[in-house]
Structure 1
Amino acid sequence: MALRINYNQASLSAQRSLGSTQGQFASAIERLSSGLRINRASDDSAGLAVSEKLKNQIRGLNQAQRNAQDAVSLLQTAEGALNETHSLLARMRELAVQSANDTLSNNDRAHLQNEVNQLVSEIDRIAASTQYNKIALLNKDSAVTLHNSGDALQFHIGANTNLVSGAASTSSGDNALQFSIGAARSQDLGDVKLLSELGVTGSIEKTFTVGGSTIKYNPSVDTVFDVRDAINDESFTSGVTASVTGGQLVLASNAAFTITGDTGNLVSALGLPASGAPGSISGSSTVADVTGSTGSFYIDDNIGMPATVNYSGTMTLDALASAMQAALNATTETMATVTVVGGAFQFQNVLSNNVILDPATPTEFGITSPLSMGTTTASTMVTIRNTASSSTLTGVTSISSSTDGTLDVASQTSANASISLLDAAIEDVSTSRGQIGSMQNRLESVINSLGVASENTAAANSRIRDADVAQAVSEMTRTQILQQATMAVLAQANQSPQSVLQL
């Protein structure tokens, strides 16, 4: 064969083999040191793409599992509060049964009523203060959160988006659960129906306008009491207040007002008129129906000491007449009388022209001072109180809507009625707790299934991305031996051109 000095093919071949072997050895070392078969895209581009998707899926499943655990914690918080509400209702029912027994006097029942009032207030306090991460759980009327009781909470328990392509909302997929916790204020418990049960249709938010203010309602979660509260929240703007009295939703204002623009059918379903109608004055009307004033004046006969008369908005006109009668009796005008007749104060048997009312009473009372002798009839009082009342409704009796806004056990008859009302309230809380318990059990199953899914997905990712240590060690040993052999051969190849010197 030919002898050459400038070109050593054997050496170059050995160098090429050595470079390749060193690359394979470095790859084996990298896999052993990282534990991964795929360290860069060049190792397995398709495998890397699949592995990255699986890795993100694993992290999503793990977070979804934590989401479900947080949801369980939220439900446990709500259920714990309802447990105490159950205890309070049981005590109230016990007091109602006790009050229904005729071995008690009315004074004894008054003491029971005091305790019942405190327990009702405690139920409202629990509902207002029960929160999870500043999310109100049992109180619809809360300023601490965007979520209120009755709103659907969405528990995201999947690794992927819950929005299905083409769907209208995020509640359409399989990666989330929606759950509503019923409100547990005293006004929500008892014989209380949702608006949808009163003939108001729809399951989304609707609106109507009262006195220029927009009132929102959702027939599927709100009650008449919620509509009342919504109207009262806007009373500063609209001038219209609302109450639930005698099974009716009553709207009232000192000025004329209209009820318009209902995007649902609440106004027609509840039988509300299109506008408020002026009321008429009688002795049972209140001072607030005539004037917004609260104050006092005195009656003076210019002989003895003047007698003071105090009045407030909640006082009836008959009660104000009685207060003026007591003041007259404290003067020399003991024969004089004062009553409400035909919507006006009427003074009779006044013995002198010296009886004055000072300072002057509100002009709405229509009384001229001093009084005339004999019989004096004041100007007829005209109410500026406009009211609009719904039809008489069913399902608007809560444990806070009875006498004086509380459950009434002050008499045997009312105590017997309260027992039935409390049974309904207890059933309401039992239903809420049952729903919470069912969802909690479902979430426990979700947590288990997510754990299994995460485990299997992690195993699949490991099979694609993780290194086979035994194979990597064998590869490292092979390439290590090859390197040593190649180095020896390369040394021989580098010496072969020296043979020309023998020529």
Structure 2
Amino acid sequence: MSLSIYNNVMSLNSQRHLGGTQSALGKSLERLSSGLRINHAADDASGMAISEKLRGQISGLKRAMMNAQDGISMLQTAEGALGEVSSMLQRMRELAVQAANGTYTSNDRVELQKEVEQLKAEINRISTSTEFNTKKLLNGDGTALWSASSNKISALIRGNVAEGNYQISLEANKIGQSQVFKTDIMTLQDDKIGAEYVDSTANATDDTNISKVSNPKSLWATGDNDYTLTLHGSGITTSSAVATIGSYLQPGSAGTIKTDSNSISSSLTFDGYALVEITGDNASAAITYFYSATTGELLGSSTDTDISDDITTNAGFSLSATGTFQKGDKFLFSVSRGIVPSNNGQGAIEITDGPTAQEQKITINFTAASSLASTTEEITKTIYLADLDEQTGNLNIGNLDIVFAKTDDGAINTGTGTLHIAGGGEAATTTTKLKDIARFIDADGNNLFENKQELTIWGNGKSATIYLEGDDTIADLETKITDALVNELDLGSSDEQVNSHLVDYISVPSNDGNRTVKGTFIIQTALTGEQGEIAFSGDQRLIDAFSLAEIQESVSNTTLVTVKDAHTGDLIGVDETGNDRVNGVIEGIELVVDSRATVESYWDAATETIKFRENANANENHFLHVVDNSTDLQIGPNQGQTLSVSIPQLDVKGLGLENMFIVSQKLAQRAIPDIDNALTQVVTIRATIGAQINRLEHTIANLSVAHENMTASESRIRDLDMAEEMSQFTRSQILSQAGTAMLAQANQVPQMALQLLQG
């Protein structure tokens, strides 16, 4: 072979082999250091691609297991809250069963209701406040969100919803009716009286502006012979008059005293009464006393020592006396100046008729500053009526207040009405005070209204308490109950005439219908069906005194509900409901329809009843916007591998218990199946949640197996076989050492050329 020094081919060959060995040694070191067979794509391009895909699945499976664990925690939170709701419903059922027992009084049931109300409030609080990572779980928001264009419709979330915008039209197929209560007959105590004014003007536009009479004192009961009140305005005049009211003659007396119209002067000095009392036997003497009809005061007297011809008074009239008299005989006359008002707002009250033997005929003038009309306030005038007891001769001057309503122009509205004075045992009047009603005297003779009484009205998911005092009148009781129904319980109407008849006291009975019994209350609401039902509670003696009887049961409207897509007009579904609830037309939604959406109340003057008819706005379309807000648990590493968790609305309204009351035995009985239905709902949801928790536990187990197997698969592709690689490393290490030694030897070969040169 040749010997060269310029190109050392053996050294280059050694370097090449040593470089390959060093490269293999470096890869072994990298693999042994990382524990991975594939550290770079160049190590195994296809293996790297498969491994990265598997790694994505592995991390997804790991995260899915954690998601499932979070889902279990969320469901356990909801199930724990529902466990408490279930316990509270069981307690409510126990209370309902207790209240259904006839041994309890109304007040006892109110105390039970108080606990029910607290439990209902806590169910609502749990529904609102139970959340997981700020997500509401039990109020329906975690399943769907909704809004409506009108308060006439609302939605309850029942499950996964079909989101969208819905047009809802309502049509009343059958009109229902409201619940109507009637009380016991309210009669006056034996020693009490009451007053009632009834306008009898045929033309409603000419109604007198007398609104009521009140505070009657010491008046005779009129029985079937009521007084007639005629209200005269300015510009009307009549002549003065003196009329006989009654007389008292002792045994043996046979005299008469009467008026002579020709002896009545036009300058009578007062409106009132004249009592003539014989002060001497036969025709020897008499004294005349004058009493004011506007103050009841004794104005003065006039003495006549000889009445054989007539009795002369100093009040502008004289009386003729005939027959035989005894000392103590008495005669009573009404004295009227006539009607003389001349200015707007001035007038006169003419009182005629009245109880037998005590018929009145008197005109009481209100002139000058004594106006009977105002545009700013009502005006109260007190008048006095006199009567003479034919059995005892006692003079009685009673009085009552006449209230004149405001008028538009301050002028008197003239007309004629009837004044009824009720006596003991008769039906009370609207102005009768509650403490004067016989029904409010208990079996022990105690008046219920010695102390203030509470009366609570329950309805529309709420309660309103009114306070009754002995000085409250029947009219005040009407006003208080009406205000509670309309303003506190929202059970009234937009028609004020209807509201004014929600509570009616029957002082003037009708020939037929609900208003035939005088002295009773009629109580109802302006809503049909269960939505308008009410109940009362209070002291058992008060409830017994009212003796409320349901004379008309509530009947719900039958409503045809049509649902369309609000954008395309496509029909979604149609349902006819008889309980104001619609299920199944909109997926996951239970529609609640206000009975006033299709039906309105009105006052039928002909039958004097509140009736119902199709609402003028019944054809109005309502709109409901629904958005799916359900919770989807990602329980797999890939798209679509989810579990939808939808918990319905489980507040008191969603459970159907917003109108659940146990304040009466009947309501307590009805509450039991309502609570059972609510328990069924809660138990069903708890069972569903429990099943989902079990499913998620199996999901976690399955994901764990998949994670293990996929990790093993990825390991086989990417992980390093340490034994094999160590053998490779050892070989590369030895080859590296040998290559290095040989390279050193190859580098020594050119030295041989020096030996040749030395020779």
Q: TM-score range by the shorter chain?
A: 0.5 to 0.7
Aligned position for 1:151: 144
Aligned position for 1:58: 58
Q: 1-side partners of 2:718 and 2:88: how far apart?
A: 59
- 2:655, 2:678 within 8 Å by CA — same for their partners in 1? no
Aligned position for 1:423: 676
Aligned position for 2:372: 354
Q: 1-side partners of 2:9 and 2:497: how far apart?
A: 123
Q: Post-superposition shift, 1:402? A: 12
Structure 1 residues 436-451: aligned runs within 5 Å: 436-451=689-704
- Tell me, what secondary structure is at the counterpart of 1:78? helix
Whichever residue aligns with residue 743 of structure 2, its letter is L
Query: Residue by residue, what CA displacement relative to the aligned partner does 1:247-274 show, whole Å, maximum 9, x if unpaired?
Result: xxxxxxxxxxxxxxx946x535xx359x
Residues 1:47 and 2:47 are matched in the alignment: yes
Q: 2-side partners of 1:376 and 1:17: how far apart?
A: 135
Aligned position for 2:662: 409
Pick from 711, 727, 733 the counterpart of residue 480 of structure 1: 733
- 1:100, 1:411 within 8 Å by CA — same for their partners in 2? yes
Aligned position for 1:329: 214
- 1:117, 1:406 within 8 Å by CA — same for their partners in 2? no
Structure 1 residues 69 and 404: alpha-carbon distance in aligned structure 2, compared to 1, 3 A threshold? closer
Aligned position for 2:169: 267
Q: Post-superposition shift, 1:439? A: 0.7
Residues 1:34 and 2:19 are matched in the alignment: no
Structure 1 residues 10-159: aligned runs within 5 Å: 10-140=10-140, 148-151=141-144
Q: 2-side partners of 1:57 and 1:431: how far apart?
A: 36
- Tell me, what secondary structure is at the counterpart of 1:329? strand
Q: Post-superposition shift, 1:489? A: 1.3
Structure 1 residues 120 and 219: alpha-carbon distance in aligned structure 2, compared to 1, 3 A threshold? closer
Q: Post-superposition shift, 1:502? A: 3.0
Query: Residue by residue, what CA displacement relative to the aligned partner does 1:224-267 show, whole Å, maximum 9, x if unpaired?
Result: xxxxxxxxxxxxxxxxxxxxxxxxxxxxxxxxxxxxxx946x53
Structure 1 residues 115 and 132: alpha-carbon distance in aligned structure 2, compared to 1, 3 A threshold? same
Whichever residue aligns with residue 579 of structure 2, its letter is T
Q: 1-side partners of 2:701 and 2:61: how far apart?
A: 11
Structure 1 residues 477 and 404: alpha-carbon distance in aligned structure 2, compared to 1, 3 A threshold? closer
Query: Residue by residue, what CA displacement relative to the aligned partner does 1:103-122 show, whole Å, maximum 9, x if unpaired?
Result: 11122112111211221111
Structure 1 residues 452 and 94: alpha-carbon distance in aligned structure 2, compared to 1, 3 A threshold? same
Q: Post-superposition shift, 1:373? A: 6.1
Q: Post-superposition shift, 1:403? A: 13
Residues 1:459 and 2:498 are matched in the alignment: no
- 2:61, 2:707 within 8 Å by CA — same for their partners in 1? yes
Q: Which has the higher contact order (CA 8 A, sep 6+)?
A: 2
- 1:25, 1:476 within 8 Å by CA — same for their partners in 2? yes
- Tell me, what secondary structure is at the counterpart of 2:169? helix
Q: Post-superposition shift, 1:354? A: 2.5
Residues 1:393 and 2:646 are matched in the alignment: no
Structure 1 residues 375 and 432: alpha-carbon distance in aligned structure 2, compared to 1, 3 A threshold? farther
Residues 1:432 and 2:685 are matched in the alignment: yes
Q: Post-superposition shift, 1:209? A: 5.8
Query: Residue by residue, what CA displacement relative to the aligned partner does 1:391-417 show, whole Å, maximum 9, x if unpaired?
Result: 362375996699995421111111111
Q: 2-side partners of 1:139 and 1:408: how far apart?
A: 22
- 2:373, 2:406 within 8 Å by CA — same for their partners in 1? no
Q: 2-side partners of 1:417 and 1:357: how far apart?
A: 52
* Larger Rg, first or second structure (1 or 2): 2
Whichever residue aligns with residue 22 of structure 1, its letter is Q
Structure 1 residues 90 and 486: alpha-carbon distance in aligned structure 2, compared to 1, 3 A threshold? same
Whichever residue aligns with residue 414 of structure 1, its letter is L
Q: Post-superposition shift, 1:484? A: 1.1
- 1:399, 1:421 within 8 Å by CA — same for their partners in 2? no
Q: Which structure carries more strand by proportion? A: 2
Structure 1 residues 10 and 91: alpha-carbon distance in aligned structure 2, compared to 1, 3 A threshold? same
Q: Post-superposition shift, 1:151? A: 3.3
- 2:35, 2:719 within 8 Å by CA — same for their partners in 1? yes
Q: 2-side partners of 1:219 and 1:134: how far apart?
A: 19
In the superposition, the TM-score normalised over structure 2's length comes to 0.39
Structure 1 residues 470 and 331: alpha-carbon distance in aligned structure 2, compared to 1, 3 A threshold? farther
Aligned position for 1:501: 754
Q: 2-side partners of 1:480 and 1:448: how far apart?
A: 47
Q: Post-superposition shift, 1:10? A: 1.3
Query: Residue by residue, what CA displacement relative to the aligned partner does 1:76-111 show, whole Å, maximum 9, x if unpaired?
Result: 111111111111111111111111111111221121
- 1:402, 1:408 within 8 Å by CA — same for their partners in 2? no
- Tell me, what secondary structure is at the counterpart of 1:451? helix
Query: Residue by residue, what CA displacement relative to the aligned partner does 1:127-181 show, whole Å, maximum 9, x if unpaired?
Result: 11111112111113xxxxxxx14439xxxxxxxxxxxxxxxxxxxxxxxxxxxxx
Q: Post-superposition shift, 1:39? A: 1.0
Query: Residue by residue, what CA displacement relative to the aligned partner does 1:6-59 show, whole Å, maximum 9, x if unpaired?
Result: 122211111110111011111111111111111111111111111111111111
Structure 1 residues 399 and 464: alpha-carbon distance in aligned structure 2, compared to 1, 3 A threshold? closer
Structure 1 residues 463 and 442: alpha-carbon distance in aligned structure 2, compared to 1, 3 A threshold? same
Q: Post-superposition shift, 1:71? A: 0.8
Whichever residue aligns with residue 444 of structure 1, its letter is E
- Tell me, what secondary structure is at the counterpart of 1:37? coil
Aligned position for 1:5: 5
Q: 2-side partners of 1:130 and 1:376: how far apart?
A: 65
- 2:127, 2:138 within 8 Å by CA — same for their partners in 1? yes
Aligned position for 2:407: 368
Structure 1 residues 66 and 14: alpha-carbon distance in aligned structure 2, compared to 1, 3 A threshold? same
Q: 1-side partners of 2:710 and 2:659: how far apart?
A: 57
Q: 2-side partners of 1:489 and 1:450: how far apart?
A: 57
Q: 2-side partners of 1:483 and 1:95: how far apart?
A: 93
Structure 1 residues 220 and 130: alpha-carbon distance in aligned structure 2, compared to 1, 3 A threshold? closer
Structure 1 residues 429 and 135: alpha-carbon distance in aligned structure 2, compared to 1, 3 A threshold? same
Q: Post-superposition shift, 1:462? A: 1.2
Structure 1 residues 26 and 359: alpha-carbon distance in aligned structure 2, compared to 1, 3 A threshold? farther
Q: 2-side partners of 1:86 and 1:37: how far apart?
A: 59
Q: 2-side partners of 1:401 and 1:437: how far apart?
A: 21
- 1:106, 1:411 within 8 Å by CA — same for their partners in 2? yes
Q: Say how many residue pairs are matched.
A: 334
Query: Residue by residue, what CA displacement relative to the aligned partner does 1:189-222 show, whole Å, maximum 9, x if unpaired?
Result: xxxxxxxxxxxxxxxx9x98659x9x89699759
Whichever residue aligns with residue 407 of structure 2, its letter is T
Q: Post-superposition shift, 1:454? A: 1.1
Q: 2-side partners of 1:418 and 1:220: how far apart?
A: 22
- Tell me, what secondary structure is at the counterpart of 2:144? coil
Q: 1-side partners of 2:689 and 2:4: how far apart?
A: 91
Q: 2-side partners of 1:217 and 1:47: how far apart?
A: 56
- 1:100, 1:415 within 8 Å by CA — same for their partners in 2? yes
Structure 1 residues 155-234: aligned runs within 5 Å: 221=159
Structure 1 residues 401 and 100: alpha-carbon distance in aligned structure 2, compared to 1, 3 A threshold? farther
- 1:208, 1:263 within 8 Å by CA — same for their partners in 2? no
Bigger Cα displacement from structure 2, 390-399 vs 40-49: 390-399
Percent identical residues: 41
Aligned position for 1:471: 724
Q: 1-side partners of 2:703 and 2:580: how far apart?
A: 43
Structure 1 residues 376 and 76: alpha-carbon distance in aligned structure 2, compared to 1, 3 A threshold? farther
Whichever residue aligns with residue 53 of structure 2, its letter is K
Structure 1 residues 208 and 73: alpha-carbon distance in aligned structure 2, compared to 1, 3 A threshold? closer
Whichever residue aligns with residue 44 of structure 1, its letter is D
In the superposition, the TM-score normalised over structure 1's length comes to 0.57
